[in-house]
Amino acid sequence: MRLQRTTDQAGWDTGIVHLGLGAFARAHLALYTEDAGQHDWGILGVSLQRPDQRDRLAPQDCLYHALERQPEGNRPRLVTCLTGVLVAPEDPEAVLATMSAPGTRIVTLTVTEKGYCHDPATGRLNWAHPTIAHDLAHPTAPIGAIGFMVEAQRRRQAAGLPPFTVLCCDNLPANGHVVSGLVREFAARLSPDLAAWIAAEGAFPCAMVDRIVPATTEADIAEVKALTGFADAAPVVHEPFRQWVIENRFVGGARPHWEIGGAQFVDQVEPFEHIKLRLLNGAHSALAYLGYLGGHETIADTMQDSAYAGFVDRLWRDEIVPVVPPPPGTDLLVYVAALRDRFSNPAIRHRTWQIAMDGSQKLPQRLLGTIRERLAQNLPLPCLALAVAGWIVYTGGVDEQGSAIDVRDPLAEKLRSVQTSAADDSARVRAVIGITEVFGDDLPRDSRFVEAVIAAYATLKAKGARAAVAM
């Protein structure tokens, strides 16, 4: 039976435009919005690149199921709050018209770190990025998230409308501040008056999101059909846990009552964001690279291996927790114990290869901040150095069996090139650490860091990942 919207499901109006409608947004933002139950806050999804998501969702009236996976059994839920899906390259004008419509009051984003076209080490726009260069030359026909937001805000200013609130749902430290800076930086090149208006009238609340959402498989699609009786081409799969901490700052105070679903509105997001980026995302990336090299397909599989479970426990206990201040009322050891259970959930098949994508954009936030703080206190970092070395081996493009790795990263070609041209392993590590877009200017000059990664890399090459994490 095909999914089709019934009369009682047809009452959502677009109040939110979401750029980058992937699985995470549909398993997180959409469910909080569904729980709020305010039908003037429906979500129009925008794909900035491919039509795949639209092609799966449109024939089923943008309905889909969210499948909660837990060891005790799996529970599907029908999601109704999507009002449509637009594909930006096909019709950028339709996207801009909706973003600049009076009913649109919030623009949310999950475009991944690389979608902001910035330098993660500095937080500034990369003006040489092809997307930024295009949008600067053709501001009324943008192709990137920053360009779409600036042009839509320009139209709102011209029409006498207030700006929309921009709510980033990506894993960037101080994400609201970062995106605000990028938008104003781009706008200032086009119109200082527009940039000043956005700064004075707009809102870019910081937010921290948390939920493990693996990529949907054909087996997931078959399971949803068996559980519901509906042929759903676009289900999402997620763990039971979810968290959303949001700075309570919106244009005109306009927002859905996301707190009904458990969202936390706070004055300061940074402490919550800090522990999540360092403890969850940092450990996820470490396990992804080292687990993949050790032959493990998923995080849960990796955690079943005692060598890796012991490694991540040491990483948390000895290297990350000591330099991460907890939010008020949070016990970091309890938080870590919960993470261990979440990572070990056998019902969540979160592939190491999926988490390993775009490491050049993720490492500065997830691992390098902790490394800098430990270096500032002259503390050792064996587990962190091993995680960085694992990333370097992974981006070299060849696994421990000599098979090619499908490396997905904006800097994939550069990472492979500098390693291929290096004379030896030490030079290879130094060449990668010398990429300032990732490591900044400071870490390549810190001999403690460089030598620790060289030693970890040598252990990985000589003994393999599993033996390295067991040491």
User: Is the Cβ–Cβ distance between 67 and 99 less than 8 Å?
Assistant: no
User: Is the Cβ–Cβ distance between 327 and 271 less than 8 Å?
Assistant: yes
Instruction: Give me the amino acid identity at 337.
Output: A
Whole-angstrom distance, CA of residue 319 vs CA of residue 282: 11
273: which 2 tokens?
């964001």
Percent pLDDT > 70 in the chain is: 99
Whether residue 286 sits in one domain with residue 192: no
Q: How far apart are the first and last CA of the chain?
A: 54
Q: Structure pTM?
A: 0.86
The residue range of the domain holding 15 is 7-266
Radius of gyration, CA atoms only, the chain: 22
List all residues 6 or more positions away from 6 whose beta carbon is below 8 Å from its beta carbon: none
What dihedral do alpha carbons 112, 208, 118, 377 form, nearest 10°? -120
Whole-angstrom distance, CA of residue 444 vs CA of residue 387: 16
Whether residue 182 sits in one domain with residue 162: yes
pLDDT at 6 (0 to 100): 83
344: which 2 tokens?
């070990």
| Count of domains for the chain | 2
In a domain, 2, yes or no: no
Whether residue 374 sits in one domain with residue 292: yes
Closest Cα to residue 470, out of 313, 243, 295? 313
pLDDT of residue 404 exceeding 80, the answer is: yes
Whole-angstrom distance, CA of residue 78 vs CA of residue 64: 6
| pLDDT interval class at 9 (50, 70, 90) | low
pLDDT at 7 (0 to 100): 74
Element (H, E) at 118: strand 118-119
Whether residue 381 sits in one domain with residue 256: no
Percent pLDDT > 90 in the chain is: 93
Q: Which of 249, 266, 283 is the last residue of a domain?
A: 266
Instruction: Write out pLDDT tens, residues 348-399.
Output: 989 999 999 999 999 999 999 999 999 999 999 999 999 999 999 999 999 9
Element (H, E) at 109: strand 106-109
